[in-house]
């Protein structure tokens, strides 16, 4: 069981009433991650129906199912977000199946083949495996694997933690439909709901809630 996680972690949500489906958020996310050593894929997806358009991304769940489903520790949860150790990904897609928002993706890239051995190295390997059929087969399989090298990586929202202006998608949205939800935002929302509830209850202050019953009977 993981340790208790603070409820103040951040995530991005969309206000459907002002989203216009322009995909500017996806373009900004793509540009943000189009860098050496990263995967140039948007971390959120615009979903459109006849009645709504809404970007959907990772909610950085406090009890993240994707983290629980990951067998290698590639996905991890800390006090701030659900993060990724890319080097630990084996491409199993357990996280894709576990995410309730469909916000996790596995991207598999083709890598350049490893350099072929020098003639001297090849001759030495041939001599060592000359009378060993098993070794010959293993060597052939290793050569084929080197020619078809791939790398799988988990792709999900990282909240642009190292970006000074915060998440690139929210900053780029022309209608401000994307909002960064943090502890302060959640507290303001709770306070506003409490005030609305207090105002609603005030209308009953001078009203008999059960006029058919007299006090003392």
Report pLDDT digits (tens) over 35-71.
988 999 999 999 998 888 999 999 999 899 999 999 9
Instruction: Enter the tokens of residue 174.
Output: 């022309």
**pLDDT band per the 50, 70, 90 thresholds, residue 1:** very low
Closest alpha carbon to 183 in 8, 4, 33: 8
pLDDT tens per residue, range 83-98 = 999 999 999 999 999 9
Mean pLDDT over the full length of the chain? 82
- Total residues found in the chain within this entry: 217
Closest alpha carbon to 159 in 169, 149, 150, 151: 169
What letter would DSSP give residue 71? S
The yes-or-no verdict on residue 190 having pLDDT over 50 is yes
pLDDT of residue 6: 47
**pLDDT band per the 50, 70, 90 thresholds, residue 158:** very high
């Amino acid at each position: 069981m993981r340790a208790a996680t603070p409820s103040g972690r951040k995530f991005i949500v969309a206000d459907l009433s002002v989203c216009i489906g322009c995909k500017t958020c996806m373009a900004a996310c793509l540009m943000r991650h189009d860098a050496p050593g990263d995967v140039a894929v948007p971390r959120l997806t615009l979903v459109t129906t006849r009645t709504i358009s809404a970007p959907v991304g990772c909610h950085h769940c406090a009890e993240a199912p994707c983290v629980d489903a990951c067998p290698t520790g590639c996905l991890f949860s800390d006090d701030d977000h659900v993060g990724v150790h890319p080097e630990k990904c084996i491409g199993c897609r357990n996280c894709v199946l576990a995410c309730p928002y469909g916000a996790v993706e596995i991207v598999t890239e083709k890598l350049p083949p490893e350099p072929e051995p020098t003639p001297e190295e090849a001759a030495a390997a041939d001599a060592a495996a000359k009378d060993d059929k098993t070794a010959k087969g293993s060597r052939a399989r290793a050569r084929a694997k080197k020619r078809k090298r791939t790398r799988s990586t988990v792709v999900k929202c990282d909240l642009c933690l190292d970006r000074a202006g915060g998440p690139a998608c929210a900053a780029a949205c022309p209608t401000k439909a994307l909002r960064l939800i943090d502890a302060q935002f959640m507290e303001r929302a709770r306070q506003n709901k409490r005030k609305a509830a207090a105002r609603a209850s005030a209308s009953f202050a001078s009203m008999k809630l059960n006029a058919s019953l007299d006090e003392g009977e």
